[in-house]
Amino acid sequence: MRLTESAVFMRLQFGRLGGTRKGDLQLVQTSADKTRLRLSKQLFESAEYDAITAADSKIRDWVKARALPADVGMIGAPLVPLAVLPVIEERLTKYMAERESLVADFLRVYQEERTRAQAELSDQFDPRDYPPEAEAATAFAFRWWYTALEVPEGLPPELAERERAALQERLADAEVQIRGALRESLAGLCAHLVDRLTPAEGGKKKRFFDSAIGNLVEFLELFGSRNVTGDADLATLANKARAIVENVSPDAIRRDAPMRDTVRAAMSEVAAAAGALAADMPRRKFNWDA
């Protein structure tokens, strides 16, 4: 299946009332050359404001975990498999209500925060930084939408043909990225689990966190929808890994030494095989960060 038929780009927009502004250096007494200085001021010292920022970051990471690990030059637009759109729509719709509640919490202390800032910022306080509450509320808009990567209409024929060829090359490179990244992820997660199950020097048992299994289980749960390149070899290894950790809890791993040994031995084989698959991948052609 072509990548453009199995995934779409997604835009997430988290509006917030800006929490910092440029300060006035003319009010600062210093012998330094002020052209070499920058001054910023914090408009809010609010747990309620910070809660909105933290929640936005968490939901962005949640979407990213379900997106495809590919970069085709669409900065800030994760490539999302069509198969996970229903789950994403449900979660973001729920988050919209959660976020509205967080914004309401902040707006309840907004005037108090403004008054405190006026006292603490002193001559750096500017009332224009604090719009009326109704206007402040509109700054916290949250929305998302989907878009496709395609050649614009209306280009001259020769330019359109060039752009179509370039787009196909970028999409082919993206498929290499996706396949390679998924292979590396499975190899890394399996190897990490093996490491935590392998005794330290002297035979001492290592600390074992729930995430050692939890992160692998989450990857395996999402693998089917993210395997848009149809990587049959990796799918076989993912099924083996799933069978190994199925019905294995972190608590059981901590308590049951024979189970730890069994899981470690079986997962070592999967980690090695996944690592070999990852090493067999060609280098990606494009580097958009260069």
- Percent of the residues in the chain that have a pLDDT greater than 70, as a whole number: 97
pLDDT in tens, 59-80: 999 999 999 988 777 788 899 9
Q: Could you tell me which residues come within 8 angstroms of residue 256 by beta carbon, excluding any fewer than 6 positions away?
A: none
User: Which of the four pLDDT bands, split at 50, 70 and 90, describes residue 288?
Assistant: very low
Question: Residue 287 pLDDT > 60, yes or no?
Answer: no
By three-state DSSP, how is residue 221 classified? helix
Query: Which two three-digit tokens encode residue 52?
Result: 């909105």
User: Which of the four pLDDT bands, split at 50, 70 and 90, describes residue 283?
Assistant: low
Residues 130/111, Cβ–Cβ less than 8 Å: no
- Confidence (pLDDT) at 285: 54
> What is the mean predicted confidence (pLDDT) over 29-37?
90
> What is the mean predicted confidence (pLDDT) over 123-130?
94
Q: 3-state DSSP helix/strand/coil percent for the chain, to nearest 5? A: 65, 10, 30
Question: Residue 39 pLDDT > 70, yes or no?
Answer: yes
Residue spans per domain, the chain: 3-23+37-147, 179-279
Q: Distance of CA 218 to CAs 1, 93, 97, 154, 241, Å?
A: 24, 22, 25, 44, 12
Burial class (CB in 10 A: 0-12, 13-18, 19+), 257: exposed
Question: Residue 119 pLDDT > 70, yes or no?
Answer: yes
Maximum average pLDDT range among 114-118, 201-205, 280-284, 285-289: 114-118
Burial class (CB in 10 A: 0-12, 13-18, 19+), 273: buried
